[in-house]
Each structure stands twice: as structure tokens, then as C-alpha cells.
């Protein structure tokens, strides 16, 4: 059976990958970069909810060194442009993967409701909520069959968020 892995990426992984000043550790950057390389080689897919991009950009905006801040802002911009134009290196998804503005508003309503009623008490934020909902959506939309087995994981350095992934990842880096 062919195993296919889908990864929903949290801000904490992108902070490490981009080496955002004050928000990364070198050993974690190296480990996460290797994880991405290995997964790319195996042709697995990465999904980044748009709130994660906004959160990453906010961390970049807080960098005191203006040349470093500009360097990372350009790197993020180029990455997002590549995602939009060719789906590489990640697939960017709005909350709920809506096709219309009405569906986007419904997804936002669901996200904020689940945040308020379920996740905020567990110290998970709205962006975390959207990551969890994206993982749930992918799991529901990718059913395993006799030919393909789908696994959906959340890549995050946050234990509580990682514990919400639909399929437990072997040897996770948290």
C-alpha cells in the first residue's frame, strides 16, 4: 500500500525554518530543515493555513535589525509568491478551504466558535485552531483505500497543538 503523508505546518516550524531572530534555535532549525527535505524527497504535501503566514510576518516585523527584517520579509514574500503561482513549496489554504466569500465567512465563524468553546481553555490560539481545523478537513477529504493510505500530521513545536493531529506521527520533532 502506498503511504501518503500530508503535513499542516504551524508558525512554530516556520519560525525555525526561516531562522526568525529571537524565535528559533539552531539545532531545531537543522532538524526541521532536514524533515522538510526528507518529506519533499518523498513527495509529501505541505499545507500552510493563511493565518500562519500572518503570524510569521508579525514575528518578522518585530525584528529590531532593519536589514535582517527586510531580508526575511523578502524571503517570505518570495515564498508566498511561489506558493500562489505554482503551489511550491507549500499549499496555502484559507480557513476551511472555501470557494466563496460566504464559505470563508462560515469557516471564520466555525474557527472562532471552536476557539472560544474548545481550544482557548487549552491555551491554543485562533491560529492554532485554524491549523487543527485544516488537519481535520484534510483527514476527512483524504480517505484511505486499499491502494493508498493517507496520514495527516501537524508539524508544530507546541505539544498541545501537536497532540491534536489526526494521525500520530512516528518520531515527531516537537
Nearest to 143 by CA among 133, 131, 154, 151: 151
The predicted structure's pLDDT at residue 143? 84
Q: Residue 138's closest CA among 1, 5, 3, 2? A: 5
Mind giving me the DSSP string for 71-109? HHHHHHHHHHHHHHHH--S-EEE-TT--SSHHHHHHHHH
Yes or no: say if 19 and 60 are a contact pair by the CB < 8 Å rule: no
* Top-confidence residue, 3 or 31: 31
Dihedral of CA 105/84/46/59: which sign?
A: negative
Residue range 153-170: mean pLDDT, rounded:
95
Handedness of CA 81, 87, 89, 91 (dihedral sign): positive
Cβ neighbours, 10 Å, residue 69: 16
Does an H or E element contain 4, and which? Answer: strand 2-9
Q: What is the DSSP letter of 151?
A: E
Q: What's the average model confidence in pLDDT over 66-91?
A: 94
pLDDT digits (tens, 9 = 90+) for 87-146: 889 999 887 677 788 888 888 898 999 999 999 999 999 999 999 999 999 999 988 777
Tell if the pTM clears 0.85, that is, is over it.
yes
Q: What is the pLDDT of residues 13-63, one digit of tens each?
A: 999 999 999 999 999 999 999 999 999 999 999 999 999 999 999 999 999
- Domains in the chain, please, with CATH? 2-162 (3.40.50.1010)
Amino acid at each position: 500500500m502506498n503511504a501518503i503523508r500530508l503535513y499542516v505546518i504551524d508558525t512554530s516550524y516556520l519560525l525555525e525554518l526561516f531562522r526568525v531572530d529571537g524565535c528559533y534555535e539552531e539545532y531545531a532549525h537543522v532538524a526541521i530543515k532536514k524533515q522538510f527535505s526528507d518529506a519533499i524527497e518523498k513527495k509529501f504535501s505541505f499545507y500552510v493555513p493563511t493565518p500562519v503566514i500572518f503570524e510569521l510576518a508579525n514575528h518578522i516585523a518585530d525584528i529590531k535589525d532593519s536589514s535582517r527584517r527586510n531580508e526575511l520579509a523578502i524571503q517570505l514574500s518570495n515564498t508566498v509568491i511561489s506558493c500562489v503561482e505554482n503551489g511550491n513549496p507549500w499549499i496555502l489554504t484559507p480557513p476551511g478551504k472555501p470557494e466563496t466569500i460566504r464559505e470563508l465567512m462560515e469557516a471564520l465563524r466555525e474557527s472562532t466558535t471552536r476557539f472560544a468553546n474548545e481550544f482557548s481553555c487549552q491555551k491554543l490560539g485562533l491560529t492554532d485552531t485554524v491549523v487543527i481545523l485544516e488537519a481535520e478537513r484534510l483527514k476527512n477529504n483524504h480517505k484511505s483505500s486499499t491502494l493508498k493510505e493517507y496520514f495527516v500530521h501537524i508539524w508544530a513545536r507546541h505539544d498541545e497543538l501537536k497532540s491534536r493531529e489526526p494521525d500520530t506521527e512516528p518520531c515527531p520533532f516537537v
